[in-house]
Amino acid sequence: MQGDRRKGGKFITLEGGDGSGKSTQSRLLAEFLETRSVETLLTREPGGAPGADEIRELILTGDPDRWDAVGETLLFYASRRNHLRLTIWPALEEGRWVISDRFADSTMAYQGYGNQLGEEAVQRIHDFAVGSFAPDLTFIFDIPAEEGLKRTMGRTHDEVRFEKMDLSFHERLRDGFLDIARKNPDRCILIDATRSVDAIQQELRETVAARLLP
């Protein structure tokens, strides 16, 4: 559906469970790229464009039973399509690099594995909404579910729908992310997210420098 939109811009995604450190590391990676004179757009999902932000609100607030797995997956993809069309693709076309804190692997892990909608169902929706477009590089942050959730405990915002899911959900989604990393070895790098912020950032920078920087 969509051809290769990149004209020099690279698309990097950070994926993993809640509290695994993605937001912290995305910010630091964007700072690093700026020091290398790479114009970088830092964005996140769900959200990243006005319509996508409105859908974020719909998905993440309210009763855990508000949406079923199918409805939720369609909302994530409506939001993602909006984010791609209005934010990600235009930036890449202008030659900017894009770092997204979460992208499609989150839907596969959370809805496909966590909510047990299944890999095939999510892949079908993905193919329809996104086509063959994919990140150049994906870091998958791996951390025991309990440890990640402990890090999010202090959060006071009201977007806690998934953080409220039970521990077995978070364990399924961790296995999901591990499967995704195994099945996409060229695109995905598995990150041991239990290490220090500095150690993780160093690995990210070295990987980006080796794989993507000119």
For residue 23, state whether it binds ligand TYD (rule: CB under 6 A).
Answer: yes
How far is CA 98 from each of CA 8, 27, 60, 156, rounded to the nearest angstrom? Answer: 11, 12, 24, 28
CB of 46 to ligand TYD, least distance (A): 5
Which of the stretches 27-35, 92-100, 101-109, 176-184 binds ligand TYD when contact is defined by CB under 6 A? 101-109
> Scanning residues 118 to 177, which ones bind ligand TYD (CB under 6 A)?
159, 162
Tokens representing 214? Answer: 């000119």
Which of the stretches 81-89, 107-115, 126-134, 177-185 binds ligand TYD when contact is defined by CB under 6 A? 107-115
Q: Which does 82 bind (CB under 5 to 8 A by kind): ligand TYD, ligand ADP, none?
A: none
Interface pick for ligand ADP out of 19, 47, 114, 176 (rule CB under 6 A): 19
Q: Which does 24 bind (CB under 5 to 8 A by kind): ligand ADP, ligand TYD, none?
A: ligand ADP
Interface pick for ligand TYD out of 10, 11, 21, 22 (rule CB under 6 A): 22
Torsions phi, psi of 179, nearest 5?
-65, -45
Q: Which does 139 bind (CB under 5 to 8 A by kind): ligand ADP, ligand TYD, none?
A: none
Residues that bind ligand ADP in the complex, under the rule CB under 6 A = 16, 18-24, 151-152, 196-197, 200
